Amino acid sequence: MPIETVFEGKVKYIQVIDKDGNADEKLDPKLPKDLLLRMYITMVVTRMFDDKALKLQRQGRIYTYPPCLGQEAAQIGSIAALNEEDWFFPSYREHGGYLWRGTEMKWMFVYLMGSELGMKIPEGKHNFLVSIPIATQTLHAVGAAWAAKILNHKVATMVYFGDGATSEGDFHEAMNFAGVFKTPTVFLNQNNQWAISVPRKKQTAAKTIAQKALAYGFEGVQVDGNDVLAVYRATKEAIDKAHRGEGPTLIEALTYRMSHHTTADDWTKYRDSAEVEQWKERDPVKRFRIYLERNGYWNEDLEKKTVERATSEIEKAIEEAESMKLDNPEDVFMYTYSKMPPHLVEQMNELMEYLKNKS
């Protein structure tokens, strides 16, 4: 007899705050005021950090930089739902996630200046390193979650990636493994519509990215990624489910990259400015600010003070980063092996001798 496979599943869509700042009272998670304010302030600081970093790169003061303009809600709404014991696995654009999880801005700038020192994780923080290769961090997150499950550690892992990453084999391998072994993993897809110059429609013929989870035997959810409360709600449900031992979740946060892929890119070469303007109407920071103002939690004076304080903190961080001695050529050879193999020792000695003679 032929084997009949029956699988029931569907993808739900969550939006709490619309583009005009109106909230759905039934879906509003009704978060405490202090948490709401921390989320908003971190979104503002993330945007200001992003703007400053872009300018620093244009001035030649840091290296290649990946802007996150427009993705603040997808990042902060999700990271805010994690417990301190849970693990954060970023790609290369999650600046807001690092700020939320306690990384000082000066070290973020140090990293962008090309030093390994900037990637030192704060003591006691369950943050992973920036991952530049596309989708490789999905495997790391699932592996860590599986290890936690084996050790009976009640923690979850959350991994961030873009729409382009869903075309990589690593993503599908990670999803399959997570589904089979029911790992406590949350896959947070920031679908910002463009993988450099390749639009989302050329990544998949599926109607949603979220539905890919169904093929691997677990839940997929799609949210308005520019709605910080919708992202928080979906992520909190997924994290709680992971903590209960009920397996992984894929969250597709529909958002938009309003700037360049990186400073080596020029978005004007491949997309219409009208498209960007259309997405600006769904600005996640503006939308959340309206929500807070309507609840009596925010006003113009608080906004001004926040911007002034953030400006001062950013400038101080830059000053501290630029005052450090970062040109240590030995770093090129460090941090890969616990004990450096002979061929790397030989290469390092050769380089140091060359630099010594050159000076």
The torsion angle over the Cα atoms of residues 202, 206, 211 and 217, rounded to 10 degrees, is: -100
Using an 8 Å Cβ cutoff, are 206 and 178 in contact? no
Smallest CA-to-CA distance from 68 within 262, 315, 212 is with: 262
**Can you tell me the distance from the alpha carbon of 73 to that of 227, in angstroms, rounded to the nearest whole number?**
6
- Of 270, 294, 335, 354, the active-site residue reads 270
Cβ-in-10-Å burial (0-12, 13-18, 19+) of 133 comes to exposed
Question: Measuring CA to CA, how many Å separate 230 from each of 28, 42, 102, 224?
Answer: 8, 17, 23, 6
Residue 270 a catalytic site member: yes
Q: Which residue has the tokens 């969250």?
A: 251
| Percent of the chain as helix, strand, coil, to the nearest 5 | 50, 10, 40
- Of 101, 260, 261, 289, the active-site residue reads 261
Residue 257 a catalytic site member: yes
Smallest CA-to-CA distance from 317 within 88, 54, 115, 52 is with: 52
- Of 257, 260, 282, 287, the active-site residue reads 257
The beta strand positions in 207-321, using DSSP E, are 219-224, 249-254
Residues tagged active-site: 257, 261, 270
